[in-house]
Amino acid sequence: MYLRNFYSIFPLITSQYKPSNKVWIIKGINTSFLHKRELIRRNTNNPKLREHCKCYYKTMSNVNKEAKQLYYNITVSNSNNPMKTMWNIIKTETLKRASDEGIHL
C-alpha cells in the first residue's frame, strides 16, 4: 500500500549512460563545471553575483578551449601517423562519420 503510493508519486526513471568523448575534461575542469551549475541554480538578482557569473563562465569557456587544444596537440604529436590522427579529430569534432558507400564514379 505504502510502496504503491510512493511509486505513484515518485515514478522510477531509468536513464542510459552515454560515455563522453570529451577526454580532455579532467577532474579540476569537472569540479569547475559543478560550481558553474551551482551558480546557475542560485540565479539571484544580485548584480555582483551576476558579474561574477559572467566572468566565471568566460573563464570556464577559455579553460575548456585550452584543455581541448592541449589534448589534441599532444595526441597529434605522439601519433605515428599525424595526418590520419588530425583527420580523425576533425571528423569527431564535426560529427561526420565515414560512409560505407564510398565514392562512386
- Give me the pLDDT at residue 62, please: 93
Q: Span 13-30, mean pLDDT?
A: 74
| 44 against 100, higher pLDDT | 44
Task: Note the pTM of the prediction, 2 decimals.
Answer: 0.61
Mean pLDDT of the chain: 80
Q: Does residue 50 register a pLDDT over 70?
A: yes
Q: Span 27-35, mean pLDDT?
A: 85
- Give me the pLDDT at residue 105, please: 45
Q: Does residue 97 register a pLDDT over 60?
A: no
* All structural domains of the chain with their residue ranges: 26-93
pLDDT tens-digit readout, 52-84: 888 988 999 999 999 999 999 999 999 999 999
Please name the amino acid found at residue 46.
Answer: N
